[in-house]
Amino acid sequence: MRHLLRVGVAGLGTVGLAVLALVERQAASLKARAGREIAIAAIAAKERKERGRDLSAFQWFDEPAKLAASPDIDLFVELIGGADGAALSAVEAALSSGKSAVTANKALLAKHGMRLAELAERNGVALGFEGSVAGGIPVVKTLREDLAGNAISRVYGILNGTCNYILSRMEAEHLPFGVCLAEAQKLGYAEADPSFDIGGADTAHKLSILTALAFGTRVDPEAIAVEGIKDISLADIDAATELGFRIKLLGVAERTGAGIEQRVHPTMVPRSSAIAQVMGVANAVTIDADAVKELTLIGPGAGGEATASAVVGDIVAIARGLRTPPFGVPAAALKPLARAPIQMHEGGYYIRLSVYDRPGAAAAIAARMAERSISLESIVQRRPPGEYEKPAAVPVILITHATYEKLIREALAAVVGDGFLAEPPQLIRIERG
C-alpha cells in the first residue's frame, strides 16, 4: 500500500466543510477504495471564525496559495470560488509545485480551464473538476472516460437548480416568476442578487465545460448564446402544459453542419421526456452519442454534501493514480471551437403573440410565416377565459415545424411591422429527445 495522501482544502464554506466531514466519515472506505489512506492535513480560509466544528487538528493557512504550494500536502482542493483572484492563484500554485488539484469552480474552469489544463499536463499532475458541473452527477467522468468510444452529437441539460426550482414552482403553484424567485431567495436557493443564475450565465459556464469534454474542443463560453428565464410568464407555462410540453432552462451543445452550436435558453421539452420529470433544484444531463444512443443522468445539482461527493470522488481517483488529461485529450489537441451562430439554429419554435382583435390579423401572421417557408404544426387562438367583454388583444400561440432561427426572427419582425401586436412576441425554442 502506498503512503498517506495528505489533502489541503482552501475555502471553508458549505462545500469545504462537507468535504472535511465526508473524508472523516468515510475514512475506512476511502482507504480501501484508494488503496492508501486519505486525510485532510491542512486548511485555508479568509477568516478564522467559528464554523460549528473543531478545526484544531488541521494546519491552518491564511493564504490559499501558500497552502497550495506547501510541501505538507500532496493534493490541493480549491473551494474558494470566483473566476480569478485567490482561487486562480492557488490552483496555479498547486499545479506549478507538482501537485494535483481538485476544484468545483465552474467560473474558474470556464475562464482559465485551458491554461490550467496545460499547466497540469506540463507538470504531470491531475486537475479534477467533477463538482464544477451538475454537483453530484458524475457527468464529467462519464463524458471524459466512460463514453470514450462514442462520437457525441449533442449534450444538453438542466444545469441550474435555482432556475429549475422557480420554473417548477411557477407550474405547480401557478405563481408568477417574481413570487417564485422571492420564495427561492427565502429558502436559500437563490442569491440576493440572482442575476447570475436566472440570467443563464451560471448555466453557460457549466455548458462550456461540457462542450469541451463532449466534442474535444477548447472551452469557449463567449461562443454561447444566452437567454435567461425572467420573461417566462404564466401564459407560457399554461400553454406548455396544454401543448404537451414543460419549460426548462437548458444548456445545449450540439454538433451541426455549421460547427458546434452552444446555447442557453428557456426551452419547451416534451412532457413525457425524462428531463421533463426533473423538478425542483435537481439537475439532469442527457448525452446523445452514436454508440450509446441516449444516456440521461439525474441528481442533485448543488448543495454541500452532493458537491463534496464529486470532490471526494476526484480525490480518490487521483489517490489511485489517475493522471488523465483534464479534458480527456491533451489540451494541445483540443480544437478551437468552430462556432455555429444561433441564427443558423434549426428547430421547432413556440411563439406566443398578443394580437389586436382585427379582421385579417391571423391571416397576415400566417402569410408572414409562409413567405419564409415556415410551416406550422399548430395554431391556437382562443379568447382568454373569464373575459366576457371583447378584449382589445387575444393570445395566439403558434408551434412551428423545424425551421431556422434567422427565418423565425425575420418573420416575427415582419409581424411586428404589420402593427398587429399589442406586446412584443414571446419566442421559446423546442428541444426534442
Catalytically annotated residues = 206
Q: Which of 7, 10, 15, 23 binds a second copy (CB under 8 A)?
A: 23
| CA neighbor of 263 nearest in space, from 246, 250, 275 | 250
Is position 250 an interface residue for a second copy (rule: CB under 8 A)? no
Comparing CB distances to a second copy, the nearer of 65 and 317 is 317
Q: Interface residues for a second copy in 108-127 (CB under 8 A)?
A: none
Mark the segment that binds a second copy (CB under 8 A) among 76-84, 135-143, 339-347, 411-419.
Answer: 135-143
Per-residue b or e along 132-148, where b marks 16 or more CB atoms closer than 10 Å to that residue's CB: bbbbbbbbbbbbbeebe
69 scored as a contact of a second copy (CB under 8 A): no
Among 57, 172, 179, 333, binds a second copy (CB under 8 A): 333
Nearer to a second copy, 146 or 371 (CB): 146
CA dist., res. 76 & res. 194, Å (int): 30
286, 155 Cβ separation under 8 angstroms: yes
Looking only at the bridges linking them, the beta strands covering 127-128 and 100-103 are: parallel
Candidates 10, 17, 20, 30; binder of a second copy (CB under 8 A) is 30
CB of 151 to a second copy, least distance (A): 7
Q: For 399-417, give the DSSP string.
A: EE-SEEHHHHHHHHHHHHH
Length of the chain as a residue count: 433
The residue count for binding a second copy (CB under 8 A) is 65
Query: Which position has the grid cell 366576457?
Result: 388
d(CA 27, CA 30): 5
Per the CB < 8 A criterion, the answer to whether 44 and 333 are in contact is: no
- In the bound state with a second copy, the residue whose beta carbon lies nearer, of 196 and 327, is 327
Give SS3 for 5: strand
**Residue list 261-320, contact with a second copy (CB under 8 A):** 272-274, 277-278, 289-300, 303, 305-306, 308-313, 315-317, 320
Q: Name the H helices within 230-336.
A: 234-243, 304-320
Judged by beta carbon, residue 287 or residue 427, the one nearer a second copy is: 287
Q: Is 7 helix (H, G, I), strand (E, B) or coil?
A: strand
- Interface residue with a second copy, options 37, 118, 145, 418 (CB under 8 A): 145
Q: Which is nearer to a second copy, 164 or 403 (CB)?
A: 164
* Closer residue to a second copy, CB minimum distance, 303 or 348: 303
| Positive or negative torsion for Cα 183, 189, 193, 195 | negative
Alpha helices in 282-360 (DSSP H): 304-320
Confirm or reject binding of residue 26 to a second copy (CB under 8 A): yes
- Residues of this chain that interact with a second copy (CB under 8 A) are 18, 22-23, 25-26, 29-30, 32-35, 130, 136-138, 141-142, 144-151, 216, 272-274, 277-278, 289-300, 303, 305-306, 308-313, 315-317, 320-325, 328-330, 333
